[in-house]
């Protein structure tokens, strides 16, 4: 049975969609930080993030660099796992998908 649609296997496409979703939720989170920069120090609930904001004396640039760097590391490691073992990568991607979906629900709340 051929599971390809237009010559494209759905499994890598789903994996790529999960990676894109993770990146977009992270970007949206960063956008909200920039948009709400004037109140972020009083509204941020994550103590690590709050520490990074306070380290910059209210400037969110240190926090945003750390956040972006963290997202890039996670997605790079996920890509490396995918190249070595696709099955494990799908499990990890599923966990990331659930976590990011929860974060998005929280951010939209």
Instruction: Domain of residue 102: give its range.
Output: 33-108
> Is 27 domain-assigned?
no
Total count of domains within the chain: 1
| Average pLDDT, integer, range 58-71 | 93
Report the distance separating Cα 25 and Cα 7, nearest Å. 29
pTM of the model: 0.84
> Is 1 domain-assigned?
no
> Is 3 domain-assigned?
no
> Is 25 domain-assigned?
no
Q: What is the pLDDT of residues 21-53, one digit of tens each?
A: 999 999 999 999 999 988 988 888 899 999 999
Q: Which two tokens stand for residue 67?
A: 């956040």
User: Where residue 7 falls among pLDDT bands split at 50, 70, 90?
Assistant: low
> Is 72 domain-assigned?
yes
> Is 62 domain-assigned?
yes
> Is 61 domain-assigned?
yes
CB 52 within 8 Å of CB 46: no
pLDDT at 92 over 90: yes
> Is 81 domain-assigned?
yes
Residue 79: per-residue pLDDT: 94
């Amino acid at each position: 049975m051929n599971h390809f649609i237009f010559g494209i296997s759905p499994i890598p496409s789903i994996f790529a969609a999960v990676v894109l979703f993770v990146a977009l939720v992270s970007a949206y989170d960063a956008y909200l930080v920039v948009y709400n920069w004037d109140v972020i120090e009083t509204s941020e609930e994550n103590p690590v993030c709050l520490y990074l904001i306070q380290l910059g004396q209210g400037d969110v640039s240190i926090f945003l660099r750390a956040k972006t760097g963290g997202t890039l590391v996670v997605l790079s490691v996920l890509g490396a796992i995918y190249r070595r073992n696709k099955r494990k990568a799908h499990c990890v991607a599923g966990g990331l998908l659930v976590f990011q979906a929860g974060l998005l629900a929280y951010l939209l709340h």
